[in-house]
Amino acid sequence: MEESHPCTALADLSQGWETYHSALSKKLRANTNRAENGLRRLGDVSFSTIMGKKDWRAVWDEFLRLEAAGWKGRAGGAIVARGETEAFYRRVLAEAARQGRLRLYALRLNGRLIGANLVMLDGSTAYGWKTAYAPDLAKFSPGNVLQRHVTRALAEEDGIRTLDMLDPVTEWKRRWATTIRPRCHLRLFSPDWKGWLLWRIARRRVEMEVRKEGSP
């Protein structure tokens, strides 16, 4: 069953880093320069890409602690808040690392992780799954600094043409996107009576939503 879904924010990296970066707004580029310069005044700033089959685990543990330190942790939405969710991510990341599709990007200040981005590769598209940054450094916009490094790393990686930042499309994602496109997803149901029942329920829900949207 195919259903409509919120839009997704895409960054076209097919023309290379310089073309993509120069097309971003002057305000965004200036603000990001200012933010990175501010961080550098605090100490040594470094960026790294982790994709190996073993070294990702230590960085992922840091990522989880960083995410939990922010608003997601306070709201109970951090990955570590649910054991089954954390276990699911570890299984997925382990398999992605085995296949060479995992990218963990790390931004550090004096060795401390202050920003991290989880990206999965599928063909020529990179999917931005999760991001986290140090809340106490919010005034230095580590998210913007990290995003610039991430898009550059992806643009310079052979074979990557698009970064899909996924939904929801926030104002922040719009600043880094080159286009916004509608998305749809497929729901698959098992070929038994339970699957048939779930399919009927889902189909009915979609039909009701369509009628609601079409009503005056």
Locate 43 and state its tokens. Answer: 């100490």
Note whether residue 200 is domain-resident: no
How far is it, in rounded angstroms, from Cα 160 to Cα 125?
6
Note whether residue 212 is domain-resident: no
State pTM to two decimals.
0.82
176 within 8 A of 11, measured Cβ to Cβ: yes
Q: How many domains does the chain have?
A: 1
Q: State pLDDT tens for residues 141-151.
A: 999 999 999 99
Note whether residue 183 is domain-resident: no
Which residues 6+ apart lie within 8 Å of 45 measured at CB?
36, 39, 107, 108, 109, 145
Note whether residue 121 is domain-resident: yes
For 184: left if phi > 0, alpha if psi spans -120 to 50, otherwise beta; the answer is beta
Q: What is the CATH number of the domain that holds 123?
A: 3.40.630.30
Query: Is it the case that residue 216 has pLDDT exceeding 70?
Result: no
Which is higher by pLDDT, 161 or 190?
A: 161
* Ranges 43-57, 84-98, 178-192: which has the least confidence: 178-192
E strand intervals along 20-140: 45-50, 102-109, 112-122, 125-133
Q: State pLDDT tens for residues 78-123.
A: 898 889 999 999 999 999 999 999 999 999 999 999 999 999 999 9
> What average pLDDT does the chain have?
90
How far is it, in rounded angstroms, from Cα 128 to Cα 117?
7
Domain range for 86? 16-161
3 within 8 A of 184, measured Cβ to Cβ: yes
| Residue 199 burial (C-beta neighbours within 10 Å; 0-12, 13-18, 19+) | middle
Note whether residue 27 is domain-resident: yes
Identify the sign of the CA torsion 35, 39, 40, 46: negative
What is the reported pLDDT for 185? Answer: 66
Note whether residue 80 is domain-resident: yes
Please compute the mean of the pLDDT values over residues 116-144 and round it to a whole number: 96
Note whether residue 178 is domain-resident: no
DSSP state of 167: S
DSSP state of 110: T
Tell me the DSSP string of 50-63: E--SSTHHHHHHHH
Amino acid identity of 71?
W
* Ranges 72-76, 133-137, 166-170, 176-180: which has the least confidence: 72-76
Which residues 6+ apart lie within 8 Å of 200 measured at CB?
none
First to last CA, the chain: 27
Dihedrals phi, psi of 180, to nearest 5 degrees: -120, 125
Note whether residue 85 is domain-resident: yes
Query: Is it the case that residue 208 has pLDDT exceeding 90?
Result: no
